[in-house]
Amino acid sequence: MAPLFRDAIPDDLSPLAELARATFIATYAHTFAPGDLEAHLEAKLSDACVAGWIADDRVLLAVGDDGALLGFAQIAAAQPEGFAGLPRPGDIALQRLYVSDTARGRGIGASLIASVLAAAPADADVYLDVWVENLGAQRLYARHGFGIVGKKVFETKSGINAGDDLVMVRRAQGQAGSRAGRPTSEGSASLRSGCLAR
Ligand SMILES: CC(C)(COP(=O)(O)OP(=O)(O)OC[C@H]1O[C@@H](n2cnc3c(N)ncnc32)[C@H](O)[C@@H]1OP(=O)(O)O)[C@@H](O)C(=O)NCCC(=O)NCCS
C-alpha cells in the first residue's frame, strides 16, 4: 500500500533520529576522515538536533502500513549562509530528504518533494544542497524543477574535505517570483558555511 504522509510530532523523535543517522552513515561515511563522521553526527544529527527539527522546522514523514518510518523531508527557512549566500528572506530550504534504503525506488522521495513544493509559498524560492557526487539525487531534484546555482564547501571538524555540495534552487512559481533584485548569477558562488545540511 502507498505510504501515509503526515507531519512529525515529538513522539516520532526516536525513529526519525535513527533513520536520519543510519541514512547519513550509509550514504556519506566513506567520504569522511577518521573522527569527522562522529563529530558531524553529534553536531548535526543528535537526538537533540532532531528534536529541534520537529519543534522549529517542518518534518514531513512517509509512514508504512505497519507504522514504520520509511522516509522524511525536513523543511526550514533558507539561511543564506547555508546556501552560498543566495537565499532571500521568505525563501525556504529542503534541508534533508532521506528515504530508508529498504524503501527506495518506489516514488517515496518524489512524493515527499512534490508535497514540499506544493506547500511552498508561491513567492518563495526553494533551496537545497546536495553532495557533488550524489548524481541520483541530483537527477531526482532536476526532475522536480531544481537547477544548480552554486557550490559550497562541506565543513568538517578536521577541515579535511568530505566532498563539496552543490546548491540547487527551484524558483518561485508565483508572479512575485520575478521580484526585482533576485539573484540570478549561476555558477560557482562559494562560501564556507556554518550550516551543514544534505
Ligand atoms: C535520494 C532519495 C531520497 C530518493 O528516494 P526514493 O524514494 O528512492 O526516490 P524515488 O523512488 O522517488 O525516485 C528514485 C530516484 O531517486 C534517485 N536516487 C538517488 N539515489 C538513489 C538510490 N540509492 N536508490 C534509488 N534511487 C535513488 C534517482 O534519481 C532515482 O531515479 P533514477 O535513478 O531512475 O533516475 C534516497 O535515495 C535517499 O534517501 N538517499 C540517501 C540520502 C540522500 O542522498 N538524500 C538526498 C541528498 S540530500
Domain boundaries, the chain: 4-178
Considering the chain, what is the average pLDDT of its residues?
Answer: 89
Ligand 1 centre and the CA of 180: distance in Å? 35
Q: Provide the CATH topology of domain 4-178.
A: Aminopeptidase (3.40.630)
Percent of the chain residues topping a pLDDT of 70: 88
Kindly tell me the number of DSSP H helices and DSSP E strands found in the chain.
Answer: 5, 7
Contact by Cβ (8 Å): 17, 45 = yes
What's the rounded Cα separation, in Å, for the pair 36 and 26?
Answer: 15
| DSSP state at residue 153 | B
Q: What is residue 192's predicted lDDT score, i.e. its pLDDT?
A: 29
Name every residue whose Cβ is closer than 8 Å to that of residue 66 and which is 6 or more positions away in sequence.
Answer: none
How would you class 171 by CB atoms within 10 Å of its CB: exposed for 0-12, middle for 13-18, buried for 19 or more? middle
Q: What is residue 159's predicted lDDT score, i.e. its pLDDT?
A: 87
Mean pLDDT of 129-146: 97
41: nearest Cα among 19, 25, 57: 25
Examine the pLDDT at 4 and tell me if it is beyond 50.
Answer: yes
Mean pLDDT of 42-69: 97
How would you class 38 by CB atoms within 10 Å of its CB: exposed for 0-12, middle for 13-18, buried for 19 or more? exposed
Ligand 1 centre and the CA of 109: distance in Å? 6
Q: CA distances (Å), 56 to each of 10, 62, 75, 77, 85, in order?
A: 11, 19, 10, 10, 22
Q: What is residue 193's predicted lDDT score, i.e. its pLDDT?
A: 34
Residue to substitute in 28, 63, 99 for testing ligand 1 pocket (most ligand atoms within 8 angstroms of CB): 99
Ligand 1 centre and the CA of 49: distance in Å? 24
163 pocket-lining for ligand 1 (C-beta < 6 Å): no
Q: Count Cα atoms within 13 angstroms, Cβ side, for 136.
A: 8
Examine the pLDDT at 77 and tell me if it is beyond 70.
Answer: yes
